[in-house]
Amino acid sequence: METKKRVAYFYNNEIGNYNYGKLHLMNPKRISMTHSLIVGYGVYKDLDVYTTREATKEEIMQFHDQDYVEYLSNYVSSTKIDFLRKNGCTAPIIDEEAKNDVEKKRQYGIDVQADCPGFDGVYTFSQLSTGGSIDAAHLIINNAADVAINWGGGLHHAKKGEAYGFCYVNDIVICILELLKVFPRVLYIDIDVHHGDGVEEAFFTTNRVMTVSFHEFGEDFFPGTGGLNSSGEGLGKNYAVNVPLRPGMDDESYKQLFKNVMNKVMEVFRPDVVVFQTGADSLANDKIGHFNLSIRGHGECLTYMLRFNVPVVVLGGGGYTIQNVSRCWAYETGLLVKKNLNGPIPVDDPFFHLYEKQNMLHVPIQQVENKNSKEDLNKIQEEVFKQLKEVDA
Ligand code: ZLS
Ligand code: CA
Ligand code: ZN
């Protein structure tokens, strides 16, 4: 018998106001859009709602290098400096010199033209993303929730001393480090269309964390790591699981593979807690990813993990067709409180204009070619099972 779960939800109104830059694909507004739908569909009242706080420097330095964190926290964009100067500010601006140091920017992965621009408030944005993931972990630790959601988290690429792939602070690694203070074994699941490289790397040599990432792989798809035989080292041998896939994955093949793999993982690893990164760039019609999942298919992967009666931290991640991201995460918040959301977007939603072309929660998807043949998928599953046979947790 499945019992009713206590579901906690972290949100801060500020997070949607940060801006990676006009041309960038990562848009924090999708977090506010998700929140509006959660309120509009009435899911809100079934959640324990918490306001997300900013993670402290000390918390962030549990994973990241001090010099990198100092650099990020002092970051002031050139446009902001120009603005301040134009308005007669003569005071020294803390890291003006450092920030204009091209060498330092390169070292820390900050580049305005590229994936990780320095933008106004980049550090506070990262603190908010991370604060939610830490407090989600604490609620689970204190047995105050069975499921704890932070849609502002899930930034899986950030490295110890470097921003990478739209991610500056790895809230997931820090969340898992908190959980490891209490729980012997943590399972990390990543259904973002990209490989969860930062999290995998952080726990590559330990058998206390198993990382499992499903991702698009090949033809130079970012980040290029996460091949079938990257499986951990030392004590961590076999505790990194990768499921590299070609474009066009559809609901049926993805769900089947996901369930088969996760069932085996639960059997051999028996985690005390699950951290689930639910990047929505694996949905159909994403601006970066090339999978073809429906919102219902994506959601079924998440709810599949509830049956094991292990507490779950649910985090966001990628997702670049922002109307579909908010639809997906609002729908999944509903699923977690046993509500099957559907129907039109509430007309009084403050972002209603963004959905006007297609005003339903669930949107139809076109059939595209699945570049993964049945044989490919069987082969991958077989390889993963072979690896999991070697796990003796
Ligand atoms: O997993 O593919 C790359 C690296 C590049 C190509 C793009 N150029 C700008 C840099 C060098 C090889 N990067 C990926 C990163 C994807 C990060 C996914 C994060 C996550 O979902 C978790 C949150 C990438 N794919 C697409 C782009 N970058 C990209 C496309 C278009 C633009 C505009 C804004 C910025 C620069 C121009 C950008 C990035
Ligand atoms: Ca992934
Ligand atoms: Zn992604």
Atom of ligand 1 nearest to the CA of 196: 1
Cβ pair 180, 267 in contact under 8 A:
no
Q: CA separation (Å) from 198 to 69, 82, 195, 227, 269?
A: 16, 34, 9, 15, 21
Q: Is the pLDDT of residue 46 over 80?
A: yes
Give the contacts of 44 (CB within 8 A, at least 6 positions apart): 38
Catalytic residue among 156, 157, 195, 215: 157
Q: Is the pLDDT of residue 98 over 70?
A: no
- Residue 40: the pLDDT is 98
| pLDDT, mean of residues 214-236 | 97
Least confident of 92-101, 225-234, 259-268, 374-383: 92-101
Least confident of 69-78, 301-310, 355-364: 69-78
- Higher pLDDT among residues 103 and 387, named by residue: 387
The neighbouring-strand residues paired with 167 are: 164
- Residues 357 and 224: their CA atoms lie apart, in Å, by 35
Q: Residue 306 phi/psi, 5° resolution?
A: -75, -25
**Residue 99's pLDDT band (boundaries 50, 70, 90)?**
low
Hey, whose CA ends up nearest to atom 9 of ligand 1?
Answer: 114
- Higher pLDDT among residues 53 and 102, named by residue: 53
Least confident of 87-101, 105-119, 175-189, 361-375: 87-101
Q: Is the pLDDT of residue 181 over 90?
A: yes
| pLDDT, mean of residues 172-200 | 99
Q: CA separation (Å) from 294 to 51, 236, 285?
A: 30, 34, 10
Q: Which amino acids bring their CB within 6 angstroms of ligand 1? A: 23-25, 114-115, 155-157, 165-167, 192, 194, 222, 279, 281, 288, 317-318
Cβ pair 177, 138 in contact under 8 A:
no
- Residues 129 and 136: their CA atoms lie apart, in Å, by 11
Q: Is the pLDDT of residue 97 over 60?
A: no
ipTM > 0.85? yes
pLDDT in tens, 313-348: 999 999 999 999 999 999 999 999 999 999 999 999
Q: Is the pLDDT of residue 139 over 70?
A: yes
Atom of ligand 1 nearest to the CA of 220: 2
pLDDT in tens, 68-90: 999 999 987 767 676 767 777 77
Hey, whose CA ends up nearest to atom 4 of ligand 1?
Answer: 222
Q: Tell me which residues have their CB within 5 A of the ion that is ligand 2.
A: 190, 192, 213, 215
CB atoms within 10 A of CB 92: 8
Q: Is the pLDDT of residue 185 over 70?
A: yes
- Residue 105: the pLDDT is 79
Number of H helices, E strands in the chain: 13, 8
CATH class of the region 7-75+110-389: alpha beta
Give the contacts of 191 (CB within 8 A, at least 6 positions apart): 214, 258, 276, 277, 278, 279, 282, 298, 301
Q: How far is the CA of 191 from the centre of ligand 2 (A)?
A: 4
Half-sphere exposure of 108 (CA within 13 A, CB side): 25
Q: Best mutation site among 115, 217, 221, 291 for ligand 1, i.e. most ligand atoms within 8 A of its Cβ?
A: 115
- Residues 321 and 287: their CA atoms lie apart, in Å, by 6
Hey, whose CA ends up nearest to atom 21 of ligand 1?
Answer: 318
Q: Is the pLDDT of residue 184 over 90?
A: yes
Q: Is the pLDDT of residue 96 over 60?
A: no
Q: How far is the CA of 285 from the centre of ligand 3 (A)?
A: 13
Question: Is residue 157 annotated as a catalytic residue, yes or no?
Answer: yes
Atom of ligand 1 nearest to the CA of 24: 34
Q: How far is the CA of 115 from the centre of ligand 1 (A)?
A: 5
Cβ pair 200, 228 in contact under 8 A:
no
Q: How far is the CA of 279 from the centre of ligand 1 (A)?
A: 15
Least confident of 11-15, 177-181, 207-211, 354-358: 354-358
| pLDDT, mean of residues 264-292 | 98
Q: Best mutation site among 133, 222, 287, 290 for ligand 1, i.e. most ligand atoms within 8 A of its Cβ?
A: 222
What percentage of the chain carries pLDDT values higher than 70?
Answer: 95
Atom of ligand 1 nearest to the CA of 113: 36
- Residue 102: the pLDDT is 74
- Residue 93: the pLDDT is 61
Q: Is the pLDDT of residue 137 over 80?
A: yes
Q: How far is the CA of 277 from the centre of ligand 3 (A)?
A: 10
Q: How far is the CA of 218 from the centre of ligand 3 (A)?
A: 15
- Residue 111: the pLDDT is 82
- Residue 31: the pLDDT is 98
pLDDT in tens, 13-39: 999 999 999 999 999 999 999 999 999
- Residues 213 and 172: their CA atoms lie apart, in Å, by 13
Q: CA separation (Å) from 222 to 50, 84, 85, 332?
A: 34, 37, 39, 26
Which ligand has the nearest atom to the CA of 222? 1
